[in-house]
């Protein structure tokens, strides 16, 4: 019996997060035994170059010595106290330094918790119920946000999940990403009822779609005009596209930011934070309730802090960005050489590629119109060549500090061979 078949006997669908099941690409998922640097070792004895990086957190590379030591030291001092520790303050301080729009922060355990709590906070702070999100953006799986969502939900064709009460779903207004006019129209009609806009400033859950000039600016000005809260979901882009996230690149200050992935360095941490006056509405200072036994867990704080400290090395983002660009441009080159249409994007250590001649990709409809059959063939060709990309055409990819010239050029020469087979 395969490892996946055995897992399916006990675990729903054989996986603990749907996109891992390979449902969109076919075949059985690879089971990982261990990982070091840019490489994964599988249970069936293969060594693979990894561009998933645990879906983003492993920016320093897998099992980085400083992070492992920090976690071991923390574990030896006790696994969990459910009481304040200095480690929480140190990580909070570091995050506030990296992202100056965050004046106060609250640690939680997953990106879903961070976005769910930020939405509740925005509703409680404004006394309004309606929220705006964008089709193809994914903000975790809480009820208000699982409507026309991206990521695994889009991959499996269930962007709006059964089980979300209609009464709640009707407060979520979903608009087209990169369409500021639609946002202005909705605010003109319902502005006094809108609590917040939540957006991935670079959408990473419908592949990778950057904002067009003026889009984020329009969100900022509409929120200012109608006193709604602007939430940037930087779970994916935070510390990934730049030290200060997408808000640093586009120079827009959100009111609240949600973080996850890198902030826990590979352990389950996430956070939400922002303007001090808004964060003052969270219990115990204010009436909006939010809590968690494992929030701010000492092992997780240690991993997060060691990871953020690793990002402070001079030139870190310049070299990460250069290698990611080399990969993305290299993929575009080999695709062009093989006559296969491919649109690529890259920022910091994040990249995307869409099998489409319609680039640059800026709209959800362009992503969903792309050739998913070519993606499926490319994915399996690369997997058979021991290069591990996300098993979904709708997920961004990640390069780490451990991906050197050798890994990138090896990936590109394997990709050249795979692209050559795609047309036949
Ligand atoms: N939704 C996550 C990526 N955007 C995938 C999480 C996982 O399967 O681990």
Average pLDDT value for the chain: 96
User: Is residue 123 a part of any domain in this protein?
Assistant: yes
| Domain containing residue 351: CATH number | 3.90.1150.10
Asked if residue 318 and residue 280 are part of one domain, the reply reads no
Q: What is the pLDDT of residue 424?
A: 54
Token code pair at residue 303? 């991993």
Residue bearing the CA closest to ligand 1, atom 4: 151
Does 71 fall in a domain?
yes
Residues 116 and 157 in one domain: yes
Question: Is 424 inside any structural domain?
Answer: no
Q: What is the pLDDT of residue 309?
A: 98
User: How many domains would you assign to the chain?
Assistant: 3
21-68: per-residue pLDDT in tens? 999 999 999 999 999 999 999 999 999 999 999 999 999 999 999 999
Is residue 6 domain-resident? yes
Do 254 and 144 belong to one domain? yes
If you average pLDDT over residues 293-319, what whole number do you get? Answer: 98
Peptide bond into 360 cis (omega under 30): yes
Note the pTM of the prediction, 2 decimals: 0.97
Query: Nearest Cα to 195, choosing from 119, 257, 252?
Result: 119
Largest separation between any pair of C-alpha atoms in the chain: 64
226 shares a domain with 154 = yes
Q: How far is the CA of 232 from the centre of ligand 1 (A)?
A: 18
Q: What is the pLDDT of residues 380-407, one digit of tens each?
A: 999 999 999 999 999 999 999 999 999 9
What is the model's pLDDT at position 153?
Answer: 75
Same domain, 28 and 160: no
Share of residues in the chain with pLDDT > 70 (%): 99
Tell whether 265 is covered by a domain. Answer: yes
Note whether 211 and 74 are same-domain residues. yes
Nearest CA to ligand 1 atom 9: 17
Residue 235 sits in the same domain as residue 259: yes
Question: What pLDDT band is residue 330 in, cutting at 50, 70 and 90?
Answer: very high
For residue 221, what are the CA distances in angstroms to 129, 202, 215, 291, 345? 20, 18, 10, 32, 27
Closest ligand 1 atom to 396 CA: 4
Residue 28 lies in a domain: yes
The answer to whether residue 18 scores a pLDDT higher than 90 is: yes
Choose one of 271, 286, 310: the last residue of a domain: 310
Q: Please check whether residue 270 lies inside any domain of the structure.
A: yes
Ligand 1 centroid from CA 154, angstroms: 12
Does residue 47 belong to any structural domain of this protein? no
What CATH number has the domain bearing residue 104? 3.40.640.10
pLDDT exceeds 70 at position 11: yes
50/387 Cα distance (integer angstroms):
6
- Report which of 128, 338, 310 is spatially closest to residue 228, judged by C-alpha positions: 128
Residues 287 and 257 in one domain: yes
Q: Which atom of ligand 1 is nearest to the CA of 395?
A: 4
pLDDT score recorded for residue 331: 98
Whether 99 and 247 map to the same domain: the answer is yes
* Residue 168: pLDDT over 80: yes
Same domain (yes/no): 124, 11: no
pLDDT, mean of residues 324-329: 98
> In terms of residue numbers, what domain contains 111?
65-310
Residue 14 clears pLDDT 80, i.e. is over it: yes
Give residue 74's pLDDT band: very low, low, confident or very high (50, 70, 90).
very high
Pairwise CA distance, residues 62 & 65, whole Å: 9
Tell me: do 106 and 188 sit in the same domain. Answer: yes
Q: Give the pLDDT score at 152.
A: 73
282 and 134 belong to one structural domain: yes
Catalytic residue numbers read 138, 233, 261
* Atom 7, ligand 1: residue with shortest CA distance: 17
């Amino acid at each position: 019996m395969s490892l996946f078949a055995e897992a399916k006997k006990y675990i729903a669908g054989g996986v603990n997060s749907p996109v891992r099941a390979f449902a969109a690409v076919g075949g059985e998922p690879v089971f990982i035994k261990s990982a070091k640097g840019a490489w994964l070792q599988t249970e069936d004895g293969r060594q693979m170059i990894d561009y998933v990086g645990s879906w983003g957190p492993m920016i320093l590379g897998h099992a980085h010595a400083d992070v492992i030591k920090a976690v071991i030291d923390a574990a030896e001092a006790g696994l969990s106290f459910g009481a304040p520790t200095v480690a929480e303050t140190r990580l909070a301080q570091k995050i506030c330094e990296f992202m100056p729009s965050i004046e106060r922060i609250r640690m939680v355990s997953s990106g879903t918790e961070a976005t769910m709590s930020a939405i509740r906070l925005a509703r409680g702070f404004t006394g309004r119920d309606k929220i705006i999100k964008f089709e193809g953006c994914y903000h975790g799986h809480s009820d208000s946000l699982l409507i026309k969502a991206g990521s695994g939900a889009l991959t499996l064709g269930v962007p709006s999940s059964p089980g979300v009460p209609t009464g709640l779903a009707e407060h979520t207004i979903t608009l087209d990403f990169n369409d500021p006019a639609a946002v202005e129209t909705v605010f003109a009609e319902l502005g006094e009822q809108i609590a917040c806009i939540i957006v991935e400033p670079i959408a990473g859950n419908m592949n990778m779609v950057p904002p067009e000039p003026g889009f984020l600016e329009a969100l900022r000005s509409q929120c200012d005009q109608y006193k709604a809260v602007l939430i940037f979901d930087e779970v994916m882009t935070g510390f990934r596209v730049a030290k200060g996230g997408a808000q640093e690149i586009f120079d827009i200050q959100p009111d609240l930011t949600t973080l996850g992935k890198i902030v826990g360095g590979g352990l389950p941490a996430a956070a939400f934070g922002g303007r001090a006056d808004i964060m003052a509405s969270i219990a115990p200072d204010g009436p909006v309730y939010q809590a968690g036994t494992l929030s701010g867990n000492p092992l997780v704080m240690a991993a997060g802090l060691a990871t953020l400290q690793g990002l402070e090395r001079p030139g870190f983002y310049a070299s990460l960005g250069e290698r990611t660009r080399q990969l993305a441009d290299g993929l575009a080159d080999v695709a062009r050489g093989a006559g296969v249409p491919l649109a690529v994007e890259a920022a910091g250590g994040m990249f995307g590629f869409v099998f489409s001649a319609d680039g640059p990709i800026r709209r959800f409809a362009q992503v969903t119109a792309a050739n998913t059959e070519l993606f499926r063939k490319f994915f399996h060709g690369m997997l058979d060549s021991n290069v591990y990309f996300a098993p979904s055409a709708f997920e961004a990819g990640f390069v780490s500090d451990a991906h050197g010239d050798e890994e990138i050029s090896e990936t590109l020469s394997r990709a050249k061979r795979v692209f050559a087979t795609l047309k036949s």
